[in-house]
Structures are given as structure tokens and as C-alpha cells.
Structure 1
Amino acid sequence: MVQTVFIKHLSEHIGETIMIQGWLHTKRSSGKVAFLQLRDGTGFVQGVVTKAEVSEEIFARAIALTQESSLRVTGTVVKDERAPSGVELQIQDVEVVYLTHDYPITPKEHGVDFLLDHRHLWIRGPRQRAILKIRAEIIKAIRSFLDERDFTQVDPPILTPSSCEGTTTLFHTQYFDRDAYLTQSGQLYMEAAAMALGRVYSFGPTFRAEKSKTRRHLIEFWMIEPEMAYTTHEESLVIQEQLVAYIIQHVLTHCAIELKTLGRDLTKLQQVIAPFPRISYDEAITLLQKDGHEIQWGEDFGAPHEAAIVEHFSRPVFIERFPTTIKAFYMKPDPARPEVVLCADLLAPEGYGEIIGGSQRIDDPDLLAARFAEHELPEEAYAWYMDLRKYGSVPHSGFGLGLERTVAWICGLEHVRETIPFPRLLYRLYP
């Protein structure tokens, strides 16, 4: 019996005759040789069929193969330094599993709308596969980092009775005889979990009903939200920068082929070493004003402002202590300066903007009650959240990392729509 091997492991079988089960990505041929670009989900490899070395029937099968036909091929693995994987396959047999006709995505250029309409097929291409593999490794790195540091994963609900941040960007649904919403963050529930388990994190989908079409926005996206009891704002920042540096090193180590496929400039990623630079909101405003931006203290930053700020840094940069009036109700004011809160946004370099937002949370029940009143939040809806302050309140902090924006930055992508298998955009719910 010939052993079936995944393409990613072919370099371990040089000189051996093995079988690959996969699909034909592309093909070129002359009268005497056919070059088959094969894929199996784990990678790509070139298979060579030489007419003089196989039967007429096998060569005819190879010549007749069409793009994305499924097949099994048997051949000998040989070393080839020119190949991305370092090997190629000298094919001895071709078994057609299914012969495809009129595959819609051809090597020619296609428009974005066409490709998104065929996203279920588009993800088969080398570029899209590389992005999704890097996404998977980023997730693996995040889980490893947190699990190794005594965090426990907790899964908050997706259907919630109220908003986390008191905004109007919520997807409403009917929950039997009452109103409910798709979650925009699991943070409040993670605070409850932190009071039970100490260090926790959630990893799951979140939803924002923002009518935005920018290159950084999705309607459905994934968030990693750690929450930590007995943790100050400063301590949280250290964990955040260590996490991001860990992710980068993991991807550089495990995704060399994928990064090469994307043409990513590795020198920019190699500079991402903790600790990261930090500036205050005040300093950021001054910097923007010197650069000619018309922005005043008390205004929030948009994408152009974030892009301008990171031009001054080669690594991710923290912006700390935003005005209380533009941040969420649960953020703890700076005791030395109550008009700002103990929070920070982490901006990725190269214009990718905010990838992490975090803060120390209010732990004083009286102050939290005042915030409910200021933000006109119904106390009955947040009674359980107030209980966390009434029964054993402690200093605690947390943050949320947006997975798709992180993937876009690490991969060097123009738009987040390529960072998730099936993007949900303002005018797109198919496929």
C-alpha cells in the first residue's frame, strides 16, 4: 500500500513513492510533459508527468485535467530547491475523482464583487489560503499565550438583553416576548467571570450594526476579550504588548511560506518587540495639530488621525488616558485627573489603526451608579453588573483584541474582507 501524505509533509518523504489526495490548481503542458500544480489544503506542490515514463492512458488523463478537478496522484518525492516547499512530485499515476467543468474563477483578473459572490470558491486560491492559515495560527498563538498564563476561557452569551457600551449600533431581535440584541462585546459578562476565576478570556463573534463601508469594518467579527481581577491599567498594558509580540513571533516562526505567498515585508514585523512606545491622548492631540490636523481636545480619533499618529512610530503604539466624555461608562477615571480615564488604544503601524482597546474598570459602586445616570442606562437592566461591585469588588482591568484587524495588519492586507472566511459587509450577506 502506498502511503497517503499531506503536501506540507512531503519534505519528510524525499525519495519515497507516496499518494496525494487533492485538487488541480493550474496546469501547463507541452507534447511530452505536463506540469500540474496540486493542492490539498495543507499546501501546494508541482507534480510532473512525463509522457515517456507513464502509460498513454495516464498521460492522457493528466492532459485532460481541468482547473479544480479532484484527483489522487501517486509519485516519487524529489528535492527541488527552486520550489517554495523545496520539493516536487514525479508523478507515476493519476486517478480522477471528479472532472470539473467551467470553473468560474480563472487565472484572469476578476472584480471584487465577483470574487465575493464566489467567496466559497475564492478561498481555494493560494493567497486566500495563506491568509486563512495565518488567521488560524494567530488564534492558536492567542490561546497558547493566555492558557499558559493561567487564563480560563469562558463563553459569554451572544443574545443579550442590553448593550455593553450603551450605543445604538445593535442588532435587534425578538426573544420570545421581549427584546434582545446580538452581542457587541462579551466584556460585562467576562467581568463577572473574572470575579469567579481570576483571569479569564472569551473568544467569539461580535456584531456591530454600523453602516460603515471602510476597509477596517465588518458587521460580524471576532474578538478576544481577556479580563483580569486584581489587575491595574499599567499591568494590563504589559500583558497586551507581550501578547501582540508573542503573536508576531509565532507567525514569523510558523507561517514563513504563507507570508512569502503574500509578499509581506518581514522586516516590519520583526521590529514588533515589547515594550511598545506610549503617548498620552494630550500628546497625540498636540502631535496631530503640529501635523496640520484640525482636531481639538475632547474629540475622538478617526482613521486618518490614527494613521497620522502611527507614521511617527515603527512599532505598535499605546495612546493612553482619553477624555472621560468620549469613553464607555465602565472605565475608571484617573484618580489624579478625573477628566480622563485609565484606558488605552493600541494602534498598529503601517496605517492599520486600533487593534486593541482596554481599560481599568470602575470598581466603586457609587461611581458606577453615577455613570448609569449620566449615560441614561436603565439600572434594572444592569442590576447584575452592579452586584459585582456590591459583593467583593476588586480593582480589575481588561481589553478586547479585534482578530480581523490584527490579521489584516500581520498579512499586510488592504481590506479586512479577506481576513475572515465569509465576510459580512454592509450590503453583503451572501454566500
Structure 2
Amino acid sequence: TVFSAIHEYFRGRGFWEVHPPMITPAGSEGGATLFEMDYFGQKAYLTQSWQLYAEALALAMEKVYYIGPSFRAEKSRTTRHLTEYWHAEMEQAWAGMDEVIKHAEGVISHACQRVAEERPREVEALGRTPDFLRAVKPPFDRMRYDDALKFLRSKGMEIEWGKDLRTLEERSLTEGKSKPVVVTHYPQVSQAFYKRRDPEDPKYVLAFDVIAGDDVGEVVGGSERETDLEVLTKSLRDQGDDPEAYDWYLDTRRYGNVQHAGFGMGVERLIQWICKLSHIRDAIPFPRTPSRFSP
């Protein structure tokens, strides 16, 4: 039902479904969490995101989306991490951060409404009421990263500026809320090279996370994309990557570009939150974790 709802949401708003490669020459967020493989004598990787391809396609097709597997070589033994998971990603030309936040809220809400309508008995058996899901409607509460830190520090939590929010902090931000929370304007120092700097204050990027309660955490991560070729190239070098590995991607800036934005959503995490599951492994039939790749 959740997968069907995601397709329905995007198709109903003029998005084209596309199918990118699973084997890539470089990652979208650096090499630390990539599964490396030998591709006929050349170094290649299992995809962690199709975003770079989505950006290229969005410049030609305007609105694109995809649901497919992504791979992360993270040794994270938690209740919300998988090494292989289903990724719903979208990209839209002529769009900014605010517009894609609305899409993130919209697709989450649409999935909740569909599950409440079609699977009320199943979610009730899992401890989630259909009425709870019906109430998940836009807009979600929104706050900037700095405001989130102020709130958390008022609760006695010490958080270094520029660091990602941890499970404990995410739990505090969503405590007592029936809908996810949107955190925006993260510090540039902790973010991937492709995220656009805020023109009003370049210390921050026009990026956001949608954070769900029940210890599920980040369900959606997105941003407006950097369009300046020089800024992109410098950011790649600053994070230790060779710009030549991304030459085809940088060509999209060299030969014509427009403002664009997009996001990625972990489908199993959304299912985990909708169904109030204590562990993400229960959101997929054959989960893959650092300690499990069989059956």
C-alpha cells in the first residue's frame, strides 16, 4: 500500500518515473559508505543514491522520480538502519527547497491516508490507529537547525554546532508530536558537496530533513542543488573527492542549468513509522544488515 501510494502521489502530479543504473563510477556523498566492486578491471560502486542522475534527467524532463534499492556500507547496528533499502527519490527543475518540502509532506501524508483507508485492521493490530494516520496532514512543524539546537540545549543537551542530530536529539524534537518535524538550514560544514549554500548566509545550506517520532528519525533528506560550477568543484575537493570522477555531472553545470531541488526517502523507515514497528527489519521480508545477508 505504501509503495502504491508513493507512485500514485508522484504520477498524479506530473512526475515521470525513470530507472537509473545500480552500478556507478562514484557516489553522491563520498566513498566512505559505498560498496566497492571490480567492474571488469575498473573500480565501481553499488549506488547509494540516484540523485546525480536525477538532476541530469530533471533538466530535460522537469519532474522525475524513482523507487528502487540503494546500498550503504555503514556498520550501523541500530533499529533503523539497513545496508540495502528501498529509496524513493524525486527531482524537480525550477523548484526550490520550500517546494520540495511540500512534496515530502504531501507524499508522507498520502501514504498515511491510503494505509488508514485500506489497511485499518493491520495497523491497529500493530498498535497504530487509523485516526492517528488520518491526522498526518501538511503542514508539518518546521524549524531551522539553529533553533533546533536552542530547543535541545534548553533541555540540557550539549550539541556541537555543525554536527548531525543523534537519536536522542531527534527523539526530543518529536516528543509529543503526532506528525513528523522538518529541520532546515543545516551548517554547510557537515553537508554533501551538491547542496546549495543559502545566499543570505553561506554558512548554511538550503537543505532539510523530515524527522519522524518513535525513534525512527530521519525519513526524508533533501535540498536545493548547487548550480555554480566553481562552488561545486571546490566542494568536491574540500571533501576529498576527485572532480574528474564527477566530470559528467559537472557537465550539467557547464552546458546549461536551472535551479532545481529534490529529496530521498527511506521507504522502510516510513513503513516502520506508519506501522509503529520497533525494528526496521520488520518492514521488509528479507532485511540486509551488517550481520545479515542471508536468506
TM over 0.5: yes
* Aligned residue type for 1:413: L
Equivalent in the alignment of 1:403 = 267
Which of 89, 103, 108 lines up with 1:225 in the alignment?
A: 89
Q: SS of the counterpart of 2:121? A: helix
- 1-structure distance, mates of 2:287, 2:96: 36
Are 1:279 and 2:136 counterparts?
no
Question: Does the Cα contact within 8 Å between 1:182 and 1:206 map onto a contact in 2?
Answer: yes
Are 1:174 and 2:42 counterparts?
no
Aligned-residue Cα RMSD (Å) equals: 1.1
Q: Report deviation, 1:359.
A: 0.1
* Aligned residue type for 1:212: S
Equivalent in the alignment of 2:16 = 152
Equivalent in the alignment of 1:234 = 98
Q: Report deviation, 1:362.
A: 0.3
The higher radius of gyration belongs to: 1
Residues 169-213 of structure 1 deviation map (CA, whole Å, 9 limit, x = unaligned): 111111011111111111101111111211001111011111111
Structure 1 residues 126-205: aligned runs within 5 Å:
137-205=1-69
Residues 268-290 of structure 1 deviation map (CA, whole Å, 9 limit, x = unaligned): 32321111110000011011111
Tell which has more relative contact order, 1 or 2 (C-alpha 8 A, sep 6+): 2
Residues 345-399 of structure 1 deviation map (CA, whole Å, 9 limit, x = unaligned): 0011333211000000001112112212212221211111111111221000000
Equivalent in the alignment of 1:344 = 208
- 2-structure distance, mates of 1:260, 1:240: 25
Q: SS of the counterpart of 1:173? A: strand
Residues 25-84 of structure 1 deviation map (CA, whole Å, 9 limit, x = unaligned): xxxxxxxxxxxxxxxxxxxxxxxxxxxxxxxxxxxxxxxxxxxxxxxxxxxxxxxxxxxx
- 2-structure distance, mates of 1:299, 1:376: 19
Equivalent in the alignment of 1:422 = 286
Structure 1 residues 27-38: aligned runs within 5 Å:
none
Which of 125, 131, 139 lines up with 1:261 in the alignment?
A: 125
Q: SS of the counterpart of 1:380? A: helix
Question: Does the Cα contact within 8 Å between 2:63 and 2:92 map onto a contact in 1?
Answer: yes
Equivalent in the alignment of 1:314 = 178
Equivalent in the alignment of 2:168 = 304
Q: Report deviation, 1:410.
A: 0.3
Identity of aligned pairs, percent?
42
- 2-structure distance, mates of 1:406, 1:149: 21
Question: Does the Cα contact within 8 Å between 2:36 and 2:43 map onto a contact in 1?
Answer: yes
Question: Does the Cα contact within 8 Å between 1:159 and 1:183 map onto a contact in 2?
Answer: yes
Q: Report deviation, 1:300.
A: 1.3
- 2-structure distance, mates of 1:401, 1:382: 23
- 2-structure distance, mates of 1:382, 1:189: 11
* Aligned residue type for 1:262: L
- 2-structure distance, mates of 1:267, 1:291: 30
Q: Report deviation, 1:328.
A: 0.6
- 2-structure distance, mates of 1:312, 1:367: 40
Q: SS of the counterpart of 1:340? A: strand
Are 1:391 and 2:244 counterparts?
no
TM-score by length of 2: 0.97
* Aligned residue type for 2:201: R
Q: Report deviation, 1:403.
A: 0.4
Equivalent in the alignment of 1:64 = none
Q: Report deviation, 1:162.
A: 0.8
* Aligned residue type for 2:199: P
Which of 286, 289, 292 lines up with 2:156 in the alignment?
A: 292
Equivalent in the alignment of 2:246 = 382
Question: Does the Cα contact within 8 Å between 1:228 and 1:398 map onto a contact in 2?
Answer: yes
Q: Report deviation, 1:312.
A: 5.1
Question: Does the Cα contact within 8 Å between 1:311 and 1:351 map onto a contact in 2?
Answer: no
- 1-structure distance, mates of 2:6, 2:273: 16
Equivalent in the alignment of 1:327 = 191
Which of 412, 422, 426 lines up with 2:276 in the alignment?
A: 412
Question: Does the Cα contact within 8 Å between 1:222 and 1:402 map onto a contact in 2?
Answer: yes
Q: SS of the counterpart of 1:164? A: coil
* Aligned residue type for 1:301: L
Which of 76, 79, 83 lines up with 1:212 in the alignment?
A: 76
* Aligned residue type for 1:390: R
* Aligned residue type for 1:237: I
